[in-house]
Amino acid sequence: MTTYLPKTVMITAANSGFGVAFAKRFAAAGCRLILTARSQDKLNKVVQGLGVPVHGVVVDLSDRAAVEAMFAGLPADFRAIDLLINNAGGALGLEPGYAAQIDDWQKMVDVNILGLLYCTRLAIAGMVERKCGHIVNIGSVSGSYAYPGGSVYCASKAFVEQFSRTMRCDLIATQVRVTNIEPGMVETDFSLNRFKGDAERAAKIYAGANPLVADDVAETVFWAATLPPRVNINSIELMPVTQAAGPLAVHRTA
């Protein structure tokens, strides 16, 4: 049973995967939505049929000035953000650290870390003033369990985990909640983007694994966001039943 419902929900990267699932779940509950995307065409497709007031913005979240302009330009009815879902992020490449592309590293840092920081800082001031609000960061089990080739992606999600914890400490007297959601394997376009359009390679990641789907994560976020305001879910780690954290790796010489 839903005991609390945010009136205005901001979802970053709402054009695919988790973002679309989040938009549909909160729209189904009647929430007013602020949706960001990098593509107007993709954003338009998401907005169609939601059936609730939507303010859509095409923005590069790694551009601080653009993010500041987005928040400054919010219509009056959308300015009191009750829930910010920092969903934007992703991985690029799976090469070992000594062979990875620095441009890929830069892009991951720009979106996974800086974009999240910009949106959080700009949304949270109003929440503190109103003594009501919730920041939900979409982290990853990769922030806790490193894997070969994950280097900067794993590090960026470890940052999100620690940032969520420290923000919770800073906000303890404000009634503002902070939650870090840490999904494991979820079948979305994540791997397709990581492998830069290599559909065959991306499909192999999920083959035979029965992974989670975006709706599973959306339902988890909705649950955490609609608990009584006195309840703060610090973090949730979720995996498909076919996935677990692996043993420590040991390389042995012959």
Known catalytic residues? 153
Both tokens of residue 163?
Answer: 């940032």
Cα–Cα separations (whole angstroms), residue 3 to 177, 223, 230: 15, 10, 11
How many Cα atoms are found within 13 Å in the side-chain-facing hemisphere of 157?
26
Angle at 51 between CA 28 and CA 7, to 5 degrees: 60
Closest CA to 46 of 38, 32, 35: 35
> For the chain, how many residues are written?
254
Distance CA 28, CA 38 (A): 24
